[in-house]
Amino acid sequence: MSVTLDRTEGKAERPLFESADWGFETIQRCHDEIAKIAIDELGLDVYPNQIEVIGTEQMIDAYSSIGMPLFYKHWSFGKQFARNEAMYRAGMQGLAYEIVINSNPCISYIMEENTATMQTLVIAHAAFGHNHFFKNNYVFRQWTDADGILDYLEFARDYIMSCEERYGEAAVERLLDAAHALMSHAVHRYPRKRTNDLRSEEKRERERRLHDEQVFNDLWRTVPGKENTRHDPTAEERRRALLQLPQENILYFMEKTAPRLAPWQREILRIVRIIAQYFYPQIQTKVMNEGCATYVHYKIMNRLHEKGLLTDGAMVEFLKSHTNVVFQPDFDDPRYSGMNPYALGFAMMQDIERICTNPTEEDYQWFPHIAGTQDYMAVLRDVWANYRDESFILQFLSPHLVRQFGLFHVMDDSGEPNLRVEAIHDERGYRKIKQALAKHYDVSWFAPDIQVVDVNLAADRRLILHHRALNKVLLEEKDARLVLQHLADLWGYDVLMKEVDPATDSVLKEHTASPRAGVIQSDPS
């Protein structure tokens, strides 16, 4: 795959469209031209596309059910819808131009109100940028099943509907309330160990024997060794091993272990946690995902313009919209609300291209493996496949970008009277800033670390959780109490949560909750 684009080819006879109006043929033509560039020139690898045209109300609707085309019913989605609709009507919030779903075929929603230029942009952005990322990034490959998600959602919707018919809407709603409250702690952060099948077990055994034979030396037998001290597990250790404790996936633990849930309740918990797991990769790859899509649409739109397929007017319209998207206000700007993932992602992708094609002395020092390799698309494709936000920033945030953004690192210790500037964009600061920024995108850093640590099923069945309060940042108390109440209802017995300082293992705070009768479990204890 050559990345040097052939600039000498002839210009297209006429552009794809000349007015803001579009029809289905326009979309088809745009898609085909974009596909040529994306597949042949950029070397992207995408799921087949399905583009769906929807109206405003449907867009708000899609928003409200976390972007999924079909979803079970719950009041919280109605709340979202009401909020979004009111905001939209009041003009306080525009609508996204598109929503894209990680499924096979990859479904992109485009709004009917968009102009032809915007539709082209959206197709390039969602149907190729996001699509490539979904299909290739390792986090998505590991955690999501693009082929099955729509079928699963359909199953989930029907199952929950049938539960509502059998057990009543109120009972299902209360269960879903509890499950949603715990949804943020319903993911497996690490792939679980799979038990080996017989064949691989056999193979391993053979290899081990072979190795033993190769290194066999009778002398070892005569060397006096340590007493063979077998560690006898205590009752507590055995119990914890049996229940797979500590466990950070709280809903999983509830589903498998909660003593008094009915089978249908376990199934609904499972549905909620599987959906949570499906969205877990998106949380970890905001910057990369948007960066990839933005970089791809920028490349494609420019190529279309070069080929004469986009009019100058359309190009200006695109650039205006693109600039809005990648705008990063400074920290003292009233518009500032955190780092813009589009801006950071896009800047880093462009920076990688610069490092590959036009490196400086500094780049050779910092990125010896990619500086000056010229084939930047290969590097980018590799990056998109094998990193998530945290590792990506840790690896590829260049001093050039730190300077460009003017990044600085402020430490806020509630024990001190003042904030302190730890690092700025200078020789001593680059590495610190890179590490600190990467940490911001590390799930285990921004999400509270809460684990089920112990429960004695044979005794009072009290569930004990630990929150390891990183840097002594405690949980929001009111919310924590409410969620614990839900947890106690699910568990059916008392729940105790300790907030522990991981540095010293001292308990900073404790919360307890007791189940309410008749909320989740029907029979009173």
Partner 1 sequence: MHIVDRRLNPSGKNLANRQRFMRRAKAQIRKAVHESAGSRSIKDADEGGEVVLPAQGVHEPTFRRSGSGGIRDHLLPGNKEYIAGDTIQRPPSGGGGGGNEGSPDGEGEDDFRFALSRDEFVDLFLEDLELPDLAKRRVVNAEAPVWHRAGYSVSGSPANLALNRTVRNSLSRRIALRRPKPEELQALRDEIEALSGEDDEARRVELEEELRRKERRTGLIPFIDPIDVRYKRFDPMPRPVAQAVMFCLMDVSGSMTEHMKDLAKRFYVLLYIFLKRRYKNVDVVFIRHTHQASEVDEDTFFNSPETGGTVVSTALEEMQRVIDERYNPDNWNIYAAQASDGDNTASDNDKTASLLTKQILPACQYYAYLEVGRDSEHFPPGFIRRDSDLWQTYSTIIRAGAPMAMRKVGHRRDIYPVFRELFAKKTGSEVTPA
Single out the residue of 44, 64, 117, 265 in contact with partner 1 (rule: CB under 8 A): 64
* Binding window for partner 1 (CB under 8 A); candidates: 149-157, 335-343, 351-359, 364-372: 335-343
Which of 65, 131, 249, 289 contacts partner 1 by CB under 8 A?
Answer: 65
Q: Which is nearer to partner 1, 89 or 238 (CB)?
A: 89
Instruction: Answer yes or no whether residue 418 interacts with partner 1 by CB under 8 A.
Output: yes
Size of interface with partner 1, in residues (CB under 8 A): 102
Q: Is the peptide bond before 281 cis (omega within 30 degrees of 0)?
A: no
- CA torsion, ordered 64, 66, 72, 77, to nearest 10 deg: -30
Token match 């229940």: residue? 243
Q: Residue 325 and residue 405: Cα distance in Å, rounded?
A: 16
**Can residue 512 be called a binding residue for partner 1 (CB under 8 A)?**
no
Strand order in the sheet with 449-455: 449-455, 463-468, 495-500, 507-513
Between 341 and 359, name the residue whose CB sits nearer to partner 1: 341
- Asked if 356 interacts with partner 1 (CB under 8 A), we say no
Of 144, 328, 398, 521, the one binding partner 1 (CB under 8 A) is: 328
The reply on whether position 285 binds partner 1 by CB under 8 A is no
Q: Show the site string, 172-201: x = touches partner 1 by CB under 8 A, - = not.
A: -x---x--xxxxxx----------------
Q: Cβ closer to partner 1: 62 or 380?
A: 62
Kindly state the smallest distance separating residue 411's Cβ from partner 1, in Å.
Answer: 5
Is residue 498 classed as helix, strand or coil in its secondary structure?
A: strand
Q: Which residues contact 284 (CB under 8 A, 6 or more apart)?
A: 139, 388, 389, 390, 441, 443
DSSP string, 295-343: HHHHHHHHHHHHTT-S-HHHHHHHHHHHHHHT----TTSTT--S--HHH
Closest separation in Å from C-beta 492 to partner 1 = 20
| Closer residue to partner 1 (CB): 123 or 379 | 123
- The answer to whether 425 contacts partner 1 (rule: CB under 8 A) is yes
259 contributes a contact to partner 1 by CB under 8 A: no
CA distance 270 to 200: 30
Tell me: does residue 421 bind partner 1 (CB under 8 A).
yes
The C-alpha angle 365, 366, 372, rounded to 5 degrees, equals 75
Q: For residues 183 and 278, is the Cβ–Cβ distance under 8 A?
A: no
Instruction: Please report, for residues 77, 168, 279, 369, 482, the alpha-carbon distance to residue 71 in angstroms, rounded to integers and kept in the order given.
Output: 10, 18, 14, 45, 25
Minimum distance from CB of 130 to partner 1 (Å)?
Answer: 15
Q: Which residues pair with 468 in a beta bridge?
A: 449, 500
Distance, CA of 437 to CA of 409 (rounded, Å): 9
Quote the least distance from Cβ 458 to partner 1, whole Å. 28
Residue 446 makes contact with partner 1 by CB under 8 A: yes
| Phi/psi at 460 (5° precision) | -85, -5
Q: What would the two tokens of residue 360 be?
A: 């400086």
Q: Does 79 bind partner 1 (CB under 8 A)?
A: yes
Single out the segment in contact with partner 1 by CB under 8 A; choices: 134-142, 222-230, 252-260, 329-337.
329-337
Q: Which of residues 459-488 bind partner 1 (CB under 8 A)?
A: 467, 469, 471-480, 482-483, 486
Which residue from 124, 380, 450, 500 is in contact with partner 1, where contact means CB under 8 A?
450
Q: 11, 14, 89, 209: which one contacts partner 1 (CB under 8 A)?
A: 89
**Does 104 help bind partner 1 (rule: CB under 8 A)?**
no
* 78/233 with CB nearer partner 1: 78
By beta-carbon proximity to partner 1, the closer residue of 64 and 117 is 64
**Which residue bears the tokens 């003292």?**
332
Integer CA distances (angstroms), 489 to 259, 271, 484, 521, in order: 11, 18, 8, 7
Q: SS3 string of 277-299?
A: HHHHHHHHCHHHHHHHHHHHHHH
Instruction: Tell me which stretch binds partner 1 (CB under 8 A): 130-138, 203-211, 272-280, 431-439.
Output: 431-439
Q: Give min distance, CB of 62 to partner 1, in A.
A: 9
**Measured between alpha carbons, how far is 158 from 68 in angstroms, rounded to an integer?**
15
Least CB distance from residue 322 to partner 1, whole Å? 19
Q: Binders of partner 1 among 379-408, rule CB under 8 A? A: 405-408
Binding part of the chain for partner 1, among 93-101, 134-142, 311-319, 413-421 by CB under 8 A, reads 413-421
Q: How far is the CB of 184 from partner 1 (least distance, A)?
A: 5
User: Helix, strand or coil for residue 51?
Assistant: strand
Minimum separation from the CB atom of position 471 to partner 1 (A) = 4
C-alpha span between 465 and 467 (Å, rounded) = 7
328 CB-near residues (< 8 Å, 6+ apart): 339, 340, 343, 344, 405
Assess whether the previous peptide bond of 105 is cis (omega < 30° from 0). yes
Of 45, 168, 203, 331, the one binding partner 1 by CB under 8 A: 331
Within residues 110-169, the interface with partner 1 by CB under 8 A covers 112, 127, 169
Closer residue to partner 1, CB minimum distance, 79 or 189: 79
By CB under 8 A, residue 82 contacts partner 1: yes
What's the min distance (Å) between Cβ of 116 and partner 1? 14
Q: Which residues in the 19-38 window bind partner 1 by CB under 8 A?
A: 24, 27-28, 31-32, 35
